[in-house]
Structure 1
Amino acid sequence: MSAPTDLMLYTVAEVAEMLGPHVTVAWLTKRLRERKFPGRKVGRSWMLTRADIESAIELMARPAIAPKPDPAGLTAGSRRRLNRRVAAAS
């Protein structure tokens, strides 16, 4: 008899593998200890449910920030030079 998917528990190593190569066991364990990610201790080990994993993914997501349009159309270097000239003239 298999457990329902909601009740399945995953180890930190399994979750780190699911989340990708940039997530290490140490990094994930640190976030669990700091209570930044949901999870539970079973004995001496951290365990996560599917809902915990989905919540961690949402917490790791960062919204895309659109670049601010430059009304003058200048490059970053040109803007710096212009700002230096304006500051020197003051």
Structure 2
Amino acid sequence: MWMLDENKRLLLWNEMENGMMYLRSNLTEGFTNYFIHPDRLCYIMEDNFKMVPVDEFKRQAEEMGDMIWENLLARKYFMTKKFGEEDHA
């Protein structure tokens, strides 16, 4: 859903992702950035309302996903080792 706030800033609400993007300070710049320069878009973080560029947001999301994946693999390895040793004893 496209929104224009009281200061004429263009925002985009994505209901599927439950997130908001800041497109630019006016309608023309906002549509130009959305269609031609998507690297200039920013996500608005819901916990602190800071604007984070899309590229930085994706990088942070990938890092967090990698960290979670590594933790899951480490737990699986630990549980396999722990229960594997008990089964053989």
TM-score of the alignment, normalized to the shorter chain, above 0.5: no
Q: Which has the higher contact order (CA 8 A, sep 6+)?
A: 1
Largest Rg, 1 or 2: 1
